[in-house]
Amino acid sequence: MIHIQQFTFNPYQENTYVLFDETSECVIIDPGMYEGSEQNELVRFIKDKGLNPVLLLNTHCHIDHVLGNKFVFDQWGLKPQFHKGELPLLHRVVSYAPQMGFQYEVSPEPEIFLEETGTISFGNSQLELIFAPGHSPAHLCFYAKNENFLIGGDVLFFRSIGRTDLPGGNHQQLIESIKNNVFVLPNDCEVHPGHGPSTTIGYEKLNNPFLV
């Protein structure tokens, strides 16, 4: 049984997730912590729960989702895993971070890239990969089939969708990704997005103004 802990970090109010099961192995997804207090909050939770971080995953590589990659590497020796199509975005962060007022600690690069489909395992648990480009060139979502929830990154939000005006964004591609790759999940699947509150597939099918 996978448990979810959500944190909201950095000026962009980005949602960072820790997933863990009864083995105490855990996965850190999209670490957005920037301030020392945010770093301490994550470490405190992991220590208090007695968790063992074994994977660092990025849905995509915009700055607000990778700010904590270097910190996670320094703490637990984990290099990020994401689709190789996101690597140019990661490289670009170094050049634009100062303009946005961030002192960016450069993320390590992956030793393992994720594919468009397949599964990731930790503890007794599995996550399925769902390829959903459009907000970024090679965005991945992570679906826990047994628990029926999706870590959705910046693809689908409560009554909204990811912005597509950033480099590598494509509005039509994002709409197609959601309709063809995300909306095939059960209507009661809970979506935990990269920003804002959680929602469900069924609710968004009926109420999302970008998709109805």
Each residue's pLDDT tens digit, 28-54: 999 999 999 999 999 999 999 999 999
For range 67-91, the mean pLDDT: 98
Q: Token pair for residue 16?
A: 């960072």
CA distances from 164 to 68, 76, 173, 189, 198 (A): 23, 33, 9, 24, 21
φ/ψ (deg, to 5) at 173: -65, -40
| Structure confidence at residue 83 (pLDDT) | 98
Structure tokens at 140: 């991945």
Distance of CA 168 to the CA centre of its chain: 17
Identity of the amino acid at 167:
P
Averaged confidence pLDDT in the chain: 97
DSSP letter assigned to residue 100: G
Computed on alpha carbons and rounded to an integer, the radius of gyration of the chain in Å comes to: 16
CATH classification code of 3-207: 3.60.15.10
What is this structure's pTM? 0.98
Q: Is 95 exposed, middle or buried (0-12, 13-18, 19+ CB in 10 A)?
A: exposed
Q: Which residue do the tokens 């930790």 mark?
A: 122
